[in-house]
Structure 1
Amino acid sequence: MDTTINHSRPGPRMSAWAASIASAVATIGLAGCVNYAGIHSDAHIDPPTQFETKQSLPAEGGQWPAMDWAKQFGDAQLPALIDEALKGNPSIEQARSRIEKATSYVGTSKSALYPNVTGSYSWTRQRYSENGIVPPPYAGTWQSENTVLASASWDLDLWGKNRERLRQAISQEIVADAEGEQVRISLAASVASTYNRLAQLYALRDIQAREVKNREDISHITDGRVGAGLDTNVERQTAYGDTATSRASVRDLDGQITIVRYQLGALLGAGPDRGLAIAKPSLGEGANVALPDNLPADLLSRRPDIVAAYWQVDAATHDVKEAKAEFFPDVNLSAAAGLDAFGWGRFLTAGSRQMQLAPAIHLPIFDAGALRAQLKGRYADFDYDVATYNQTLINALSDVATQVSQVRSADLQLVDARQALDAQTKAYQLALVRYKSGLAQQLTVLNADDNRLAAETAVLNLEMDRRGTQIALIKALGGGFDASHEGLAATAQTPIPASRTE
């Protein structure tokens, strides 16, 4: 239930109705009974220093990823593909649309801080009843009425409700900007990861193609041994079968390569044929992995998802303040002036003037708990957004630590895997020599070749997976994003400070 005081009369003195408004605000303010006593929140965002990270994320003097991080892998095609994806992928356009929508909310909220002025003109042709309220000589006649009116209204926003709504809209705009950056980083990392997968499949295909050659060589040796009576047709058919199996593996990899090409085409925002035009990758190892100093604290401004989560909390804070302002009186001023007359003869005369001043005050006195319920809902949103921020921070720290651990583990595994490959290669070569000389059985050679093939595949997969993890680490470190450079930081010194709303 709203109590409304509306003063509407022609030509009031300014001091008189100003005093009337002040008196009414004081009177209604004392009489108001709706309040938000007892409704609050103790939630607060967690600082990064709260989490132990010195062992898992040690300072190593490394650099944060640059925006052109893809160049470090030495393949000019990869940065070009990322640029193409960022220009043409529909997900980027979706992010831009969300940003534009958030910007429109800022404009709408800002307009509420200023007076609103409208103008109108109307012409009415009407026959007035002889038995109505219109007196002669107009009763029983047709008349044309001309009305021109200019109106202005202004919400004084004494308690800051509209200002808080504007601040909330600005924070949501920053959220949309940060989420757009997150889309960009995720898309770039997806292109790089998929491209690395394409490189892995090509490398595996090269291994299998060489394996086909090895199996063919073994088949030729077996044919000679069968002719010499050293082997039987069993060994010959076994060799033929193994060669065919290797050829089938090559064809399987060809199919997988085509599918990944289609996936790349989709990431580029193009059709599947675009993926078929991509050249064979030639990726290098990339830069050495070294974590930057002061990582937990600086990560807050380097990860756009954390930046978005922070500004979502900030937006929720202003939502709460706006809901609190609803408990206080609204003061609105409105005025109108114009001309109104029957016909044209006296329309532009002083006697046709009309004026109106209408200050109004609205104060909730009894609303059956609606405003308190609304405020509780805003606090619930605030608590949820705080929890989301804290979880985002925890996930980000875990993400970086996980990727670093996987890189370090892959480096250690590669040492052993390469030693194993050297040993298995020598064992295969020796077995092949002995088989040619008639000193070993075919099974020995085949087993040695299988072991060598498995060792070579293991090394390749470790190398490719390590590069994929390195790409994931670049994404985990923000992919070159910096809130202070993008104008999304709270301050230049402390990009994302902790805050608390009571």
Structure 2
Amino acid sequence: MQVPFPFPHPLARLSRRFSLTLAAAVLAGCASTGGLQPQSTLGTANALESATSLEGAQLTPAAWPTHAWWESFGDAQLDQLVQAALAGQPGLKAAAARVRQADALAGVAGAPLYPQGVVSGRATRQRFSENSTTPQPLAGSWDWTADVQAGVGYEIDFWGKNQAALDAALGRAQAADVDRHAAELMLTTSLVRAYLKLDAAYLLRDLAEQTLQQRENTLKLTGSRVQAQLDSRLDMKQAEAALPATRERIAALNEQIALTRNQVAALTGQGPDAGIQIRRPAMQGDYVAAIPTAVPADLIGRRPDVVAQRWRVEAASQEIKVARAQFYPNVSLTAFAGVQSLGLSDLLNAGSRVLGIGPAISLPVFDGGRLRGNLGARQAEYDVAVEQYNGTLITALHDVVDQIVSLRWQAERSAQQQQALVLTQEGYDMATARYRNGVGSYLQVLSAESQVLQQKQLLIELQTRGRALHLELIRALGGGYAPQAAQPPQSPQSLS
């Protein structure tokens, strides 16, 4: 038969007091965080009107760039250079190191979710006071004190603070990983852009060499006409002066070729001598100004810069949860076991055992506004991240539209330029024929030649720009980046 306690059981009283304290702390925490809310709202790609701007563009599901998008230029040497850059560029290795660093910090952030254990031991030889609590015969003598202890602690994550800290760290790690892909895209597009510049320099040098050959032929013809007294010495001097200017142009283009080779070698992470081995580009391929059918909706998952900013928004939202949880009590359980003794001889005796277990609770009461200020700062950081995401999304969509608009007009400009070249070439042929037959003047030949040279140069520049626009469209569409599925960042309403 059990005799009831005349008063409530001590454990029951302790449990009730603990519960009341906890409830009061929760109410106090809610009151302290009242009125603080994020002020920014995540934008969506579909909310940005772009249908009219994209109207008329060719749509195809296959228009998303592939992972090895540079292969669309059809140049085996370019493929090798890109692979070398991806393997040896120090900037990419640094980005990979930042990913490893973020992963390691995520491991640190997740540690409080698990029990923490420590084993410690200490031995000290000391003189004990004769006028303290040390009993005889130890008082006034020298001896050892020793203690060996193992402790275990576990913080109960009532408010989700530790989990939110881990989620924030994981979000930053995801952002660092996506930044690595963004760095890869920046590197590969910079390399291909320099390669296009190298190809254009070769084409312009070909044009300059053709011009030099034509002017040498014209000089011979002018010499014959001077001997026949059909032209003056002035015409002869003008024909002679055109040759050094053309040779200077060839020399300038040779310099540009050498410097661009050096630039390509640097982008691949190699020394200057590697640039000397780069052969003339042999790019080919027909580029179509097509965009995917899912633009702009899927653009948020295809652009590394947009995806990375999404993860930063998610990390900032989790930091708000951490800041809110700091207003509430911190509850943990601790336990320890070990041995303590005065003198080493008794250290391992059963009577030297020490044991303990119990809960601990801490609650911020007066902090001078520190916690509230921290929460306000975390919410402001979230607003900054959201607005940066919204700005990145706007920039990304405009980037795609800009490339489509330029490609659309590029086709029109190339067609007109082709026609202009045909007409100026016909004019040059007529002027040369008249000059050869003694009817026209050298000035007419020189004028017609300058027009043909200008039109050919413009055509080379337009062809190079067409390839460059193809490259920029690939970059604007994310360069073949395909992220893993991720939950969208939380809205401000879910952070209250």
Using the size of structure 2 for normalisation, the TM-score is 0.93
SS of the residue aligned with 2:159?
coil
1:387–1:477 CA distance, 2 compared to 1 (3 A): same
Q: Is 1:490 matched up with 2:486?
A: yes
Aligned to 2:6: none
Give the distance between the partners of 1:309 and 1:32, measured in 2 at CA.
31
Give the distance between the partners of 2:135 and 2:347, measured in 1 at CA.
19
Alignment of 1:228-243 (within 5 A): 228-243=228-243
Give the distance between the partners of 2:186 and 2:197, measured in 1 at CA.
16
Q: CA deviation at 1:202?
A: 0.6
Q: Deviations over 1:153-209 (max 9, x none)?
A: 111111111110011111111111111111111111111111011000110011001
Query: Given the alignment, which residue of 470, 491, 496 partners 1:499?
Result: 491
Q: Is 1:416 matched up with 2:416?
A: yes
Give the distance between the partners of 1:231 and 1:462, measured in 2 at CA.
38
Q: Percent identity?
A: 35
Q: Deviations over 1:49-86 (max 9, x none)?
A: 11111122246333201012111211111111111111
Alignment of 1:285-434 (within 5 A): 285-434=285-434
Give the distance between the partners of 2:65 and 2:30, measured in 1 at CA.
57
Aligned length: 482
1:14–1:418 CA distance, 2 compared to 1 (3 A): farther
Residues 327 and 371, structure 1, Cα contact 8 Å, conserved in 2: yes
Aligned to 2:59: 61
1:191–1:286 CA distance, 2 compared to 1 (3 A): farther
Q: CA deviation at 1:218?
A: 0.8
Q: Deviations over 1:91-114 (max 9, x none)?
A: 101111111111011101111101
Q: CA deviation at 1:374?
A: 0.8
Aligned to 2:123: 123
Give the distance between the partners of 1:375 and 1:330, measured in 2 at CA.
17
Give the distance between the partners of 2:23 and 2:345, measured in 1 at CA.
48
Give the distance between the partners of 2:490 and 2:124, measured in 1 at CA.
62
1:42–1:137 CA distance, 2 compared to 1 (3 A): same
Using the size of structure 1 for normalisation, the TM-score is 0.92
The code of the aligned residue for 1:444 comes to Q
Q: Deviations over 1:352-411 (max 9, x none)?
A: 011233422111222121111111111111111110011001000110111111111111
Q: Is 1:25 matched up with 2:17?
A: no
Aligned to 2:3: none
Aligned to 1:450: 450
The code of the aligned residue for 2:486 comes to A
Give the distance between the partners of 2:470 and 2:316, measured in 1 at CA.
36
Q: Deviations over 1:23-46 (max 9, x none)?
A: 543455566796111111232111
1:162–1:263 CA distance, 2 compared to 1 (3 A): same
Aligned to 2:80: 80
Give the distance between the partners of 1:34 and 1:125, measured in 2 at CA.
53
The code of the aligned residue for 1:366 comes to F
Q: Is 1:51 matched up with 2:51?
A: no
Alignment of 1:72-151 (within 5 A): 72-151=72-151
Residues 334 and 359, structure 2, Cα contact 8 Å, conserved in 1: yes
SS of the residue aligned with 1:112?
helix
Aligned to 1:70: 70
Q: CA deviation at 1:19?
A: 6.0
1:29–1:287 CA distance, 2 compared to 1 (3 A): closer
Aligned to 1:176: 176
Alignment of 1:212-251 (within 5 A): 212-251=212-251
SS of the residue aligned with 1:206?
helix
The code of the aligned residue for 2:47 comes to Q
Give the distance between the partners of 2:443 and 2:490, measured in 1 at CA.
68
Aligned to 2:153: 153
Give the distance between the partners of 1:301 and 1:196, measured in 2 at CA.
28
Give the distance between the partners of 1:274 and 1:220, measured in 2 at CA.
42
SS of the residue aligned with 2:140?
coil
Q: Is 1:261 matched up with 2:261?
A: yes
Aligned to 1:10: none
Q: Deviations over 1:256-300 (max 9, x none)?
A: 111111111110011122122111101114432211102100111
Give the distance between the partners of 2:362 and 2:288, measured in 1 at CA.
66
Aligned to 1:200: 200
Aligned to 1:274: 274
Residues 32 and 372, structure 2, Cα contact 8 Å, conserved in 1: yes
SS of the residue aligned with 1:110?
helix
Give the distance between the partners of 1:52 and 1:433, measured in 2 at CA.
58
Q: CA deviation at 1:129?
A: 2.5
Q: CA deviation at 1:146?
A: 2.2
Single out whichever of 279-288 and 443-452 deviates more from structure 2: 279-288
SS of the residue aligned with 1:130?
coil
Give the distance between the partners of 2:489 and 2:120, measured in 1 at CA.
50
Residues 200 and 464, structure 2, Cα contact 8 Å, conserved in 1: yes
The answer for unaligned runs of 5 or more in structure 1 is: 1-12
SS of the residue aligned with 1:147?
strand
The code of the aligned residue for 1:284 comes to Q
Give the distance between the partners of 1:305 and 1:431, measured in 2 at CA.
56
